[in-house]
Amino acid sequence: MNATKRDYYEILGVGRDTDDPGLKVAYRKLALMHHPDRNPNDQDAEEKFKEAAEAYGVLSDPQKRAAYDRFGHQGVASASAGFDPNSVDLGDILGDLFGFGGDIFGSGGGGRKRNRAQRGEDLRFDLEIGFDDVMRGMSADILVPRMEACTRCTGTGAEKVDGLVSCPMCHGRGEVLYQQSFLQIRRTCGQCNGRGQIIRRPCLQCKGEGHIRSDRKLKVNIPAGVSTGTRLRLAGEGQPGPSNGPSGDLYVFIKVKDHAIFERHEDDLHCTVPINIAQAALGTEVDLLTFDGLQKIKVSDGTQSGSKVRLRSLGVPHLQGSGRGDLFVHIDVKIPTKLTREQKKIFEQLKDTLPVENEPHDKSILEKVKDYFM
């Protein structure tokens, strides 16, 4: 009989070097095409479906595939004799066929509960902090609205005495079996949602929900150097999971208020200090109150407007690693718009002593203008 069997690779339409994902894709395509529920009363389609299932059942098993590659059908004769398509794991292969999802197919009548604990949802909390807090770090107490397990029923949603009874539809298994052609399909029970039990007497405190709303007070440690958009994770402080599953996480998103004097660029700080024209010409010292106390800024004589002074390691602490950014002090030379009579007299005297330099800095520009009009 083995001599009449088609080559398994030929049946699936793949090469002998095809990997496991490639085998699965090829088999899934054939299974969906020839499944008896899509081809009722079509014996040929059913035979092709069984043939594809047998080929995939052998080639998806590393040991069977190795034996088949070496000895052909004779090497897997015992495995393919009386082959049962139910022995192939169809979970994620045929899930789309019936729209039940990837874990609904079984290969026998033995039930297994679906009442598996699920992880709770994550929560988000937006926290606004001041610029001073960024420089030093801080701890903040926050109130997070979330659901807590009901203390009366401990999350079951039912009264402790005779509150829960076995589900009459699935008889406590949490799932029901359906027959699809020669396949048995295992599906989560729709009446108890896989719990295996239903509530007969709802909890008087949570009304059967299993949880109640409350504000949870938490302490958040905020390291120095955070910025707007920084996300801090508090593990297990999210919503509790259904069926007493693990809680989700809480993510605290930071927003930093602007500072009245300093502006941040990455981990460097920038500020602008105004001086008058005499200070710029003669040089001066300016007192600047920084996050590290009062700093004296030395302005050299002849300083031009737009010049900057760099103060190393007086910027924002690095969030990752040690050290800090720098502080850049930008000098803004203010030209007076109103002068007293005495000031005007002094400037008149000064004007006569200063050289006149009214020509453009880039003489090539002037030459280009002359060429344009000639």
Q: Do residues 182 and 282 share a domain?
A: no
Strand duo 250-256 + 123-129: pairing: parallel
173: which residues sit within 8 A by CB, 6+ positions away?
111, 112, 113, 189, 196
Q: Do residues 271 and 252 share a domain?
A: no
- Chain position carrying tokens 């050289």: 355
Helical residues (DSSP H) of 73-175, grouped into ranges? 77-80, 95-98, 131-136
- Number of structural domains (the chain) is 3
Inform me whether the pLDDT recorded for 66 exceeds 60: yes
The reply to whether 163 falls in a domain is yes
The reply to whether 309 falls in a domain is yes
Tens digit of each residue's pLDDT (9 = 90 or more) over 191-218: 787 778 888 888 888 888 777 888 889 9
Closest CA to 311 of 350, 341, 352, 273: 273
What per-residue confidence (pLDDT) applies to 290?
93
**112: pLDDT confidence band, cut at 50, 70 and 90?**
very low
What per-residue confidence (pLDDT) applies to 63?
87
Query: What's the token pair of residue 372?
Result: 């344009």
What per-residue confidence (pLDDT) applies to 312?
95
Region 241-269: mean pLDDT is: 90
What per-residue confidence (pLDDT) applies to 40?
78
The reply to whether 209 falls in a domain is yes
The reply to whether 329 falls in a domain is yes
The reply to whether 320 falls in a domain is yes
CATH number for the domain that contains residue 16: 1.10.287.110
The reply to whether 113 falls in a domain is no
**366: pLDDT confidence band, cut at 50, 70 and 90?**
low
**What average pLDDT does the structure give for the chain?**
82
DSSP string for 42-94? -HHHHHHHHHHHHHHHHHTSHHHHHHHHHHGGGGGHHHHTT--GGGS--TTTS
The reply to whether 362 falls in a domain is no
The reply to whether 162 falls in a domain is yes
**111: pLDDT confidence band, cut at 50, 70 and 90?**
very low
Q: Do residues 291 and 321 share a domain?
A: yes
* pTM for the structure as a whole: 0.56
**369: pLDDT confidence band, cut at 50, 70 and 90?**
low
Half-sphere exposure of 16 (CA within 13 A, CB side): 7
Inform me whether the pLDDT recorded for 265 exceeds 60: yes
**What is the amino acid identity at position 182?**
F
CATH number for the domain that contains residue 143: 2.10.230.10
Report the C-alpha gap between 53 and 85 in whole angstroms.
6
Q: Do residues 208 and 239 share a domain?
A: yes
Length of the chain: 374
Q: Among 145-149, 164-168, 366-370, whose mean pLDDT is lowest?
A: 366-370
What per-residue confidence (pLDDT) applies to 81?
55
What per-residue confidence (pLDDT) applies to 34?
84
Which residue among 223, 256, 289 closes a domain?
256
Inform me whether the pLDDT recorded for 309 exceeds 90: yes
Domain residues for 47? 2-106
Q: Do residues 148 and 243 share a domain?
A: yes
Region 33-56: mean pLDDT is: 84
Cβ pair 275, 284 in contact under 8 A: yes
